[in-house]
Amino acid sequence: MQPTDLTHRFLQLELTMTSIRRSGWKPLVACLSICLLVLSGCNPARSGKQEKFELRFAHVTSTGTPKGLAADYFAKQIEEKSDGRIQVEVFPNSELYGDKDEMQALQSNAVQMLAPASAKFTTIAPSLQVLDLPFIFDEPDEIPDIVSPETEIGKAIYANPDLEANGLKVLGLWDSGMKQIHSNNPTLSPKDMKGKKYRIQPSDVLRTQFETWGGIPSPLAFAEVYNGLQQGLIDGGENTYSNIESQKMHTVQKYVTELDHGYIGYILTVNKRWYDELPADLQAVVDESADEASAFNRQESQKVNAESKRLIEESGGTTIVVPTKKERQSFKDMVVPSEYEKYRDVIGPEVVDELLQRDKERE
């Protein structure tokens, strides 16, 4: 209610009180008259005012990656569906927070939404390292079925008690794509990795995986990878085609080996306190927009990675090599099922059993 409206209401109230005193109405009727008058002036429906909410969405990738595209799509959907009651501001490329501090920013409500890779949740929800296990997918088409909310792995993601205990709520799973090895030599056997430093995300599962292959795992923030490669601090790393191309990693690496040994999944997460304070209709808008953005992301992920692969090939400075089935199997035999069993208690016996059974059915 504007100040002029408020002044007008008080004048009405004063006139009403004067009338009451003169008429000698009973106190009860007087009180009712006053209450009705005040309430009529404070009714949001009459004033046409509705509370607005701000949503700050930060991420570390560029706008043209699967995550960047999905974040912008989500922002557009939620603003349209809420009729502007939720204002979304997207901060890409670590503009607001980087790998090292974005999770703390989300928990403190400095930002309301992130879509971090599953490895970022290691310290608060160790079971989410399930997505870091090697060879859980053979191809992108398998992903929706294996991680659906009805599966054991899906339940570990969407109904994770550790996330809720830390004030976070999962709204979806976004794909970055299958991981490849980038380096200055072809990586066709674990022997090719021996003694070389590879950038990984901070995950125990990834650390032991690369150690088993003979490499030296080196956790490094995403925004620091290019400089790390350029300065020789690391010899290579693992990432999706879209991330390799968008961050120009291929310009300082001679080879990309299409190993498809792992997956980068982004867990779309919202600060639970912020979400719980929304009216029910806006919660529904957030949920619906998240579902639509997740479907959009799955469509875009494969297209963007295919285009990024083409751009890397056409750059002329980087060679893409594809291992034979036997060469790829040499990596898998060293970590499956041993890595799965090593983290059985951390990830959950039911989840590990389900993944091993699915792997057996592929054979």
Nearest-CA neighbor of 73 among 97, 59, 85, 159? Answer: 59
What DSSP string describes 227-269? HHHHTTS-SEEEE-HHHHHHTTGGGG-SEEE-----EEEEEEE
| Tokens 């751009």 belong to residue | 311
Over its length of 363 residues, how does the chain's per-residue pLDDT go in tens digits? 444 344 334 434 443 444 444 445 444 434 434 344 344 444 443 334 589 999 999 999 999 999 999 999 999 999 999 999 999 999 999 999 999 899 999 999 999 999 999 999 989 999 999 999 999 999 888 999 999 999 999 999 999 999 999 999 999 999 999 999 999 999 999 999 999 999 999 999 999 999 999 999 999 999 999 999 999 999 999 999 999 999 999 999 999 999 999 999 999 999 999 999 999 999 999 999 999 999 999 999 999 999 999 999 999 999 999 999 999 999 999 999 999 999 999 999 999 999 999 999 988
pTM: 0.84
- Kindly report the length of the chain: 363
**Residue 23: predicted pLDDT:** 45
Alpha-carbon distance 68 to 135, whole Å?
25
| Tokens 């090939």 belong to residue | 313
Number of H helices and E strands in the chain, helices first, is 17, 11
The two beta strands, 319-321 and 255-257, are parallel
Alpha-carbon distance 121 to 85, whole Å?
30
**Residue 49: predicted pLDDT:** 55
**Residue 170: predicted pLDDT:** 98
Here the tokens at position 218 are 């080196």
Alpha-carbon distance 76 to 61, whole Å?
18
Alpha-carbon distance 5 to 206, whole Å?
62
Alpha-carbon distance 117 to 99, whole Å?
10
